[in-house]
């Protein structure tokens, strides 16, 4: 079999299992899988896993409005280097992605990106929490996820109407919630507990997250809407998600890499690189997140990639914006830190988030003949040291500088085109 591109000598791994074989690609699709394939161009995959491209449910690409921190182009390059072929771009831009015009703008900017960029739409106009955004017109343009990420929808009645509205749309969508009770966490900058008391930094209690999780589970039961919980961080939240699923509710959940690798003790340095929202939690919460990922209570690992300029992050802890980089380190952190086989990590980073985002027709699906060639080639044993100065992002706010990790993306293929080759972006 001759194809324009062959990934040679790897182990193919998807939701159906693993098998050895070369992967031949032509016309943007997989045309053959088997031994001794040849093509016009060959990329070495020896010792590597060839898998469906990763899918990030939660990335802040900052454009429009904050291009000094990130653009769709630079963010997508970071994503491709991390093995992602698709990212869901959060709507807390300026202006917010709360109508057809901004959706079209982001989609147009994404046409030349190094991964597919799917804009999430805001639940409320301007993410202000007062009036519903026109979700139907955004859904007509292909938006499949709606969230006011950065702020939870505080009004119970408004959230109920949003769920009823979403459940009645002709195209299936999911409402994703940033779970944070504003009255409880207002003025807090880290987890409320032992370390916030020691450091004299105002804290956010775990209950601020858990109350909104409880509310949205109740509303999901009332309305039948598909509900997704973003960046869950507490043991109590995960316990409620397990119970909701046990009761047959259509709820899903994600966790970030920093919520299973870092605790609130990191804030002892007063370094704002460790300021995130929701905040880093206790050792017990981190253990619960790891357990949730291992046992399936959490469906996906999301990056919550949140770039900020150096000037913004160098402010005092209580004035600096929350957020840290994640796209280039997510896979390696999961492979290095979680007690999971590589197929378990890929499920959390590829085919399971693809199903939640509604992009499984193009991303995260089987590596099989006729399928779109959106793939990543991962060397699971490659050891490397995180150096934020070499990041493709415009920003440098990574908390993992100097950390030694295992596992790295060797190649990334988007619609049949190699966009990363031997760890280097191609454009």
Residue 50 tokens, joined: 């060839």
Q: Cα(165)–Cα(174) distance, rounded to whole angstroms?
A: 11
Cα distances from 368 to residues 29, 52, 214, 356, in angstroms, run 9, 10, 41, 21
Residue 421 tokens, joined: 């080759």
* Rg (the chain; Cα; Å): 21
Residue 331 tokens, joined: 């896979």
Instruction: State yes or no: is 304 an active-site residue.
Output: yes
**Residue tagged active-site, from 14, 304, 318, 361:** 304
Phi, psi (degrees; rounded to nearest 5) at 37:
-85, 150
CB 106 within 8 A of CB 142: no
Query: Residue 35: how many CB atoms within 10 A of its CB?
Result: 9
CB 331 within 8 A of CB 86: no
Which stretch of DSSP H or E encloses residue 106?
helix 100-109
In three-state form (DSSP H/G/I as H, E/B as E, the rest C), the secondary structure along 242-300 is: HHHHHCCCCEEEEEECHHHHCCHHHHHHCCHHHCCCCCCCCHHHHHHHHHHHHHCCCCE
Q: Is residue 355 classed as helix, strand or coil in its secondary structure? A: helix
Q: What is the DSSP letter of 347?
A: I
Q: Cα(398)–Cα(84) distance, rounded to whole angstroms?
A: 18
Sign of CA dihedral 5, 344, 11, 383: positive
Instruction: Provide the pairing of β-strand 11-14 with 17-20.
Output: antiparallel
Q: Cα(316)–Cα(322) distance, rounded to whole angstroms?
A: 12
Region of residue 119 (phi > 0: left; psi between -120 and 50: alpha; otherwise: beta): beta
Q: Is 265 exposed, middle or buried (0-12, 13-18, 19+ CB in 10 A)?
A: middle
Give the residue numbers marked as catalytic: 304
């Amino acid at each position: 079999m001759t194809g324009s591109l062959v990934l040679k000598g790897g182990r193919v791994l998807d939701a159906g299992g693993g098998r050895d074989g070369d992967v031949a690609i032509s016309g943007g699709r997989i045309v053959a899988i088997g031994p001794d394939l040849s093509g016009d161009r060959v990329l070495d995959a020896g010792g590597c896993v060839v898998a469906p491209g990763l899918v990030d449910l939660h990335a802040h690409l900052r454009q429009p409005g904050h291009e000094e921190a990130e653009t769709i182009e630079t963010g997508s390059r970071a994503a491709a280097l991390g093995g992602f072929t698709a990212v869901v771009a959060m709507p807390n831009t300026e202006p917010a992605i709360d109508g057809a015009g901004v959706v079209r703008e982001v989609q147009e900017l994404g046409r030349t990106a190094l991964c597919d960029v799917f804009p999430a739409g805001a639940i409320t106009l301007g993410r202000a929490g007062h009036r519903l955004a026109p979700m139907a017109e955004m859904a007509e343009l292909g938006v499949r996820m709606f969230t006011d990420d950065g702020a939870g929808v505080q009004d119970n009645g408004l959230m109920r109407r949003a769920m009823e509205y979403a459940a009645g749309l002709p195209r299936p969508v999911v409402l994703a919630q940033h779970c944070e009770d504003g009255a409880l966490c207002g003025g807090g900058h880290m987890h409320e507990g032992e370390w916030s008391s020691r450091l004299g930094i105002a804290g956010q209690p775990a209950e601020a997250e858990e109350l909104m999780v409880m509310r949205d589970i109740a509303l999901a039961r009332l309305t039948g809407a598909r509900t997704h919980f973003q960046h869950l961080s507490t043991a109590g939240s995960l316990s409620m998600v397990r119970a909701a699923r046990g009761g047959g509710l259509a709820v899903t959940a994600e966790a970030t890499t920093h919520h299973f690798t870092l605790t609130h003790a990191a804030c002892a340095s007063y370094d704002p690189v460790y300021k995130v929202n929701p905040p880093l939690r206790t050792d017990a919460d981190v253990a619960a997140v790891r357990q949730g990922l291992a046992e399936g209570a959490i469906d996906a690992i999301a990056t919550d990639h949140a770039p900020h300029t150096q000037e913004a992050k160098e402010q005092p802890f209580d004035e600096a914006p929350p957020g840290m980089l994640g796209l280039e380190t997510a896979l390696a952190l999961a492979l290095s830190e979680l007690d999971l086989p590589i197929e378990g990590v890929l499920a959390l980073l590829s085919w399971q988030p693809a199903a939640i985002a509604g992009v499984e027709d193009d991303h995260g699906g089987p590596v099989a003949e006729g399928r779109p060639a959106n793939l990543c080639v991962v060397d699971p044993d490659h050891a490397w040291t995180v150096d934020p100065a070499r990041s493709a992002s415009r920003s440098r706010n990574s908390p993992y500088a100097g950390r030694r990790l295992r596992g790295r993306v060797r190649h990334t293929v988007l619609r049949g085109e190699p966009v990363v080759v031997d760890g280097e972006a191609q454009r």
